[in-house]
Chains A and B, each alone.
Chain A
């Protein structure tokens, strides 16, 4: 079925829920800085600039209310990080949550790692629906009883109570990084994880907080020789010895931890030679990779730079398998984007569960999906007006010149303050969560 723009909708994206902080007034601290589904898709976590984490849980589907199939509701909210001050360097450490990664579920409790610029924390989120009653030494209000009034002993019993979800910090991994942490990634061994800053990658054991191993160090002996920094890193989904890290120069290195303790020498090096016809003042900035993600299969790698998303085959280092233009119309506007700092925006990218569709964000609250098999793509908008519950999202189009058709938006009308940097896709279903400034949009597939 073709819509008026001639592109078939990948699937009918239906609005589900919009969560926003405190109405329409957005303070800086409410801006969502990371979104992540857990490994089953039952939980969705968001982190914001104010150091808060909000966890949503999917409702159990009920036969009685089939139209409310599996909606997400707020499950837990907690303050993960607070602003800190480094007295030695007279620097403030922002509380902004840079990344959240879930651990696989092993018991009734849920565990996630959240990080700001300097410190990673392991949080346990657990439910409490019973409480002990009938203490001997204190009464029901908690007041201590006078021992002389106690004439008999009783055994406290557990009685049901209203469900309470509590989050407790179980581990704090601090003092591991001099530079700003940009990524964390849990290993498939479920025992270790790595944290990445601009120049180093450290390997931690989830149980041990006072030690970490440095596995990559690209800091030059003379800092004036610095030419690139690490921008993102991720463990292979199945091979616990393999990880990749991306650089500000547009290259990706795959490393094998079995080869050496310090993985400064890569096993594979992925880089596409620059197209000399596109050279400009800003070539280096736009080639800097902002996100790197393994496919679920572990066969492919996806990277996001400022204007494109690329899919790489792990077996081919010389060039990407596929390149998708996200918003190439911005290529002629790089100077203005440099002036207003938009060129430094770090967009993330994400795979769907079957690795057939990839998604990434853009400006004007647009986000893009690319179907790798059919080569079709669609641009959608996350906005209040278009996101009434169960409304079908209409594909959007940016007019790049010439006559602007009705419903098209011209490049100059794009709102660059409305950017979608963070998106996540349910591991097995067509449900996506999109963060637009301080609003969280959850979209899912229309059920016919």
Chain B
């Protein structure tokens, strides 16, 4: 369990670094932020893996387990974040107030060609072309809901109905089932494209809310695509992220009776999940992180 505590701590520290990098003099340092994002990814991988998977950080052999586990986790987080809409919006506004100038250049850039002003944030401009429905989606809902949509969406083909379904309902069980079915149906071969489409949509969403999200993704391998999606959600708009995590954990605590049953249905290592939840109840670092931001 210490692994998870440690991973927790490292994740919050990494998020803090990404946040601070936005305001430091000299602009965003690409190299440092790339390294921080790699650490964040590793930490999240450990955190979301089951108890035994946590022992071996580079565990290729537990990737199948992690795959389903992460499904469970992501779906768990999504409904909770949907519930927290008002607080997310407030957080966004705070964020926007802090960086008043930044979003404007970004939005201007988005309307230019892909090879516009080159920037570490160019990542957010490029994928804009691939997803024309994004702008409407952004305006309609907060970015947390977008992230909801993105994370749960496995591929463009399958995603549309699912995404809308998510926005319509707040049923966690439905979401999880749908996503899991989709995931298992597609299998590993579809992972890279779906990760990209997800990340594309995610990127557009976060671009509006935050300036200069400097995080760069690591190359998607077939086994890690799901983590990539998860990481997208993690390392985007930081305040959003903190809110998501915060609300998700409080969501877990309130839904304690219902969540564990749902997860044991889906994942092979249900006991690990329950242990995780129980530990989360006793943990305060996230609260601290949220307060800090």
Q: Which residues of A contact B (CB under 8 A)?
A: 86, 88-94, 96, 117, 178-180, 182, 198-199, 221-229, 231, 248, 276, 279-282, 284-285, 288, 335, 338-339, 341, 344
Besides the known contacts A225-B220, A281-B46, 12 further A-B residue pairs in the complex with CB atoms under 8 A apart: A88-B117, A91-B26, A92-B26, A180-B26, A222-B196, A223-B123, A223-B216, A226-B218, A248-B34, A279-B58, A281-B6, A285-B38
Minimum CB–CB distance from A319 to chain B (whole Å) comes to: 20
Shortest Cβ distance from A28 into B: residue: B25
Contact of B31 among A93, A225, A229, A281 (CB under 8 A): A229
A280 touches B57 (CB 8 A): yes
Q: Which residues of B contact A (CB under 8 A)?
A: 6-7, 10, 13, 17, 25-27, 29-32, 34-35, 38-39, 42-43, 46, 57-58, 101-102, 105, 117-120, 122-123, 126-127, 196, 199, 203, 216-220
Contacts of B30 in A (CB 8 A): 179-180, 198-199, 229
A93 to B32, CA, bound (A): 17
- Grouping DSSP codes into helix (H, G, I), strand (E, B) and loop, the A interface class, with mixed when no group exceeds half, is loop
B35 touches A284 (CB 8 A): yes
Shortest Cβ distance from B45 into A: residue: A281
Minimum CB–CB distance from B144 to chain A (whole Å) comes to: 20
B219 touches A117 (CB 8 A): no
A91 to B30, CA, bound (A): 14
A89 touches B119 (CB 8 A): yes
A92-B25, A285-B39 known; A227+B31 contact, CB < 8 A: no
Contact of A226 among B17, B118, B127, B216 (CB under 8 A): B216
Minimum CB–CB distance from A386 to chain B (whole Å) comes to: 33
Contacts of B120 in A (CB 8 A): 179, 223
A117-B26, A179-B30, A282-B39 known; A222+B127 contact, CB < 8 A: yes
A248 to B30, CA, bound (A): 11
A178-B118, A281-B43, A339-B13 known; A225+B35 contact, CB < 8 A: no
Minimum CB–CB distance from A144 to chain B (whole Å) comes to: 47
B218 touches A227 (CB 8 A): yes
Minimum CB–CB distance from A177 to chain B (whole Å) comes to: 10
Minimum CB–CB distance from B261 to chain A (whole Å) comes to: 33
Contacts of A226 in B (CB 8 A): 34, 123, 216-218
Minimum CB–CB distance from A178 to chain B (whole Å) comes to: 4
Minimum CB–CB distance from B91 to chain A (whole Å) comes to: 22
A89-B117, A281-B10, A335-B6 known; A223+B122 contact, CB < 8 A: yes
Contacts of A281 in B (CB 8 A): 6-7, 10, 39, 42-43, 46, 57
- Grouping DSSP codes into helix (H, G, I), strand (E, B) and loop, the B interface class, with mixed when no group exceeds half, is helix
B220 touches A338 (CB 8 A): no
A52 to B196, CA, bound (A): 45
Contacts of A180 in B (CB 8 A): 26-27, 29-31
A94 to B118, CA, bound (A): 18
Shortest Cβ distance from A83 into B: residue: B25
A231 to B30, CA, bound (A): 11
Question: Counting chain B CB atoms within 10 Å of each CB, which of A86, A182, A222, A288 scores highest?
Answer: A222
Minimum CB–CB distance from A230 to chain B (whole Å) comes to: 9
Question: Counting chain A CB atoms within 10 Å of each CB, which of B10, B27, B57, B216 scores highest?
Answer: B27
A282 to B6, CA, bound (A): 13
A117 to B118, CA, bound (A): 15
Contacts of B196 in A (CB 8 A): 222, 224
A92 to B17, CA, bound (A): 19
A88-B105, A281-B43 known; A335+B127 contact, CB < 8 A: no
Contacts of B217 in A (CB 8 A): 224-226
Cβ contacts A to B, 29 pairs, < 8 Å: A88-B105, A89-B105, A89-B119, A90-B101, A90-B105, A91-B27, A92-B27, A96-B26, A179-B30, A180-B31, A182-B31, A198-B31, A222-B123, A222-B196, A223-B123, A224-B123, A224-B127, A226-B218, A227-B219, A228-B34, A229-B30, A229-B34, A248-B35, A279-B58, A280-B57, A281-B7, A288-B31, A335-B6, A344-B32
B39 touches A284 (CB 8 A): yes
B216 touches A231 (CB 8 A): no
B203 touches A224 (CB 8 A): yes
A90 touches B39 (CB 8 A): no
Shortest Cβ distance from A280 into B: residue: B57
B199 touches A344 (CB 8 A): no
A252 to B218, CA, bound (A): 19
A199 to B42, CA, bound (A): 24
B220 touches A93 (CB 8 A): no
A282 to B36, CA, bound (A): 9
A329 to B196, CA, bound (A): 41
